[in-house]
Amino acid sequence: MKTLSLQSKVSSSSRFLLLALLLSAPLAACGSPPHLDDDEGGPQPSRSSDDHLSVPYATGTKVRIALHSGTAEPTVSWRLVSDQPAVLAITGHTTTSDRTGAADVSALSPGQVMLRLLDGEGKERHSALVTVATPDRVRVLAHGLLRTQEDVSRRMVTEDVAAVATVQEARVLSGATGVFGVAYFAGSQRVYGRGLIQFDPIAQVQIENRTTTGSPLTEWLFVKPLAAGSYTLNWRQKSGPFPTLPIVGVAESELASVSLVPETVVEPKKDHSIWVYSRARDVSQRDVFGVYTSFSLDGVPQQSSSPPTETTGDLYRYSYDAAQSRQLLATRGSLRATLSIPASKGSIYNTTYLGCSQAGLVTRSAAPQGGSLALGLLLCGWLVRRATRRRVVQVG
């Protein structure tokens, strides 16, 4: 039987066309349009060459926007210009490497702005329409419950995710720290920003406000009741107050159960990192946050993977291996919970650590809370770039 090679069936003109396409492909791949990329938490565009601008920006927020030429052309001398500086002001430009630059931007008032990207010669290379809106409400989301949702690792806080993680009150174990993300809305529309919260001290409660960049949520509250009891957080932002947030300090004796809730991952691959949240509840089946448990895997005590070594936490992260089935046990006093997991190994984490520094737009980072796995990689799946602002209220 005669075997025909591919080459024997291709004409000379077809070979020429194929060669031309192959030669042009690298050239096409090397170039893309100039575009902008901010350090807020909006969903990433489907194409890397499109703008990533997390709009509307919240009134009062500050954002850093990276300037991309789309080619190997350096952007250190490029500048971003706003045609409505009373709405969105360019407050400065920063060199982020020897070839790249960024613009610092402040959202000052509601409205629409055209941003224009100018090269070193003042020629407009790109433009983008940006909106600013003033938030009038917030959703408070428990960090531990967020970790059980795969969409969060994909940098999305969908309505389904919010429905799982939203809390109406911050119920936290007395003497422990609960961590809550804050999502801003103008009506039904999500708006993006950070560093917007202001609040007055509360007797017997320590409240700390931290911000992150590049994550689906960039505003966080660390809440630590020093004694059992009920409290009220009166908080506000630039344009006015938000509805109050009830805070409840829960006594250890009120804890009734713990359960292990795995992250929902549809198609995990081998060695995929999957979270498990140790969920604590009181006798009325209300969530209590800041409750740490000990973990063991097939009877072997677990610990954190980063010094200083921790032996308790409210999160566990394991490496997926479909060929194995192992028993994860969480204990706190007489409370116990078990879960069969397809794990090759795992490590303890906790919700007080918000992420890891990433190469990119952030120029410095605030130190995390002591004893909170400061060197861990808790939310690296979010591509979180670390906190640049931190506010602590010490109360008596």
pLDDT of residue 31: 65
Residues of the chain predicted below pLDDT 70 = 1-31, 151-156, 355-396
**pLDDT tens, 301-315?**
999 988 789 999 999
Domain with CATH 2.60.40.10 in the chain: 35-133
pLDDT of residue 7: 33
- List, in order, residues 6 or more apart from 359 with CB less than 8 Å away: none
Does residue 16 sit in helix, strand or coil? helix
Phi-psi region of 36 (alpha: psi -120 to 50; beta: other; left: phi over 0): beta
- Among residues 286, 277, 189, 219, the alpha carbon closest in space to that of 246 is found at 286
pLDDT in tens, 211-263: 999 888 999 999 999 999 999 999 988 777 888 999 999 999 999 999 999 99
Q: What is the pTM for the complete model shown?
A: 0.82
Give the DSSP H/E element, type plus range, for residue 19.
helix 12-30
Q: Is 109 exposed, middle or buried (0-12, 13-18, 19+ CB in 10 A)?
A: middle
Is the separation of the CB atoms in 135 and 186 below 8 Å? yes
Between CA 287 and CA 278 the distance in angstroms is: 11
CATH architecture, domain 35-133: Sandwich (2.60)
Give the contacts of 214 (CB within 8 A, at least 6 positions apart): 39, 40, 41, 358, 360, 361, 382, 383, 384, 385
Are 302 and 331 in contact, with CB atoms under 8 Å apart? Answer: no
pLDDT at 391: 37
Collect all residues with Cβ–Cβ distance below 8 Å to 355 and sequence separation of at least 6. Answer: 212, 215, 378, 379, 380, 382, 384, 385, 386
Distance in angstroms (rounded) separating the CA atoms of residues 279 and 65 = 38
3-class DSSP state for residue 245?
strand
Burial 289-318 (b: 16+ CB within 10 A, else e): bbbbbbbebeeeebebbbeeebebbbbbbb
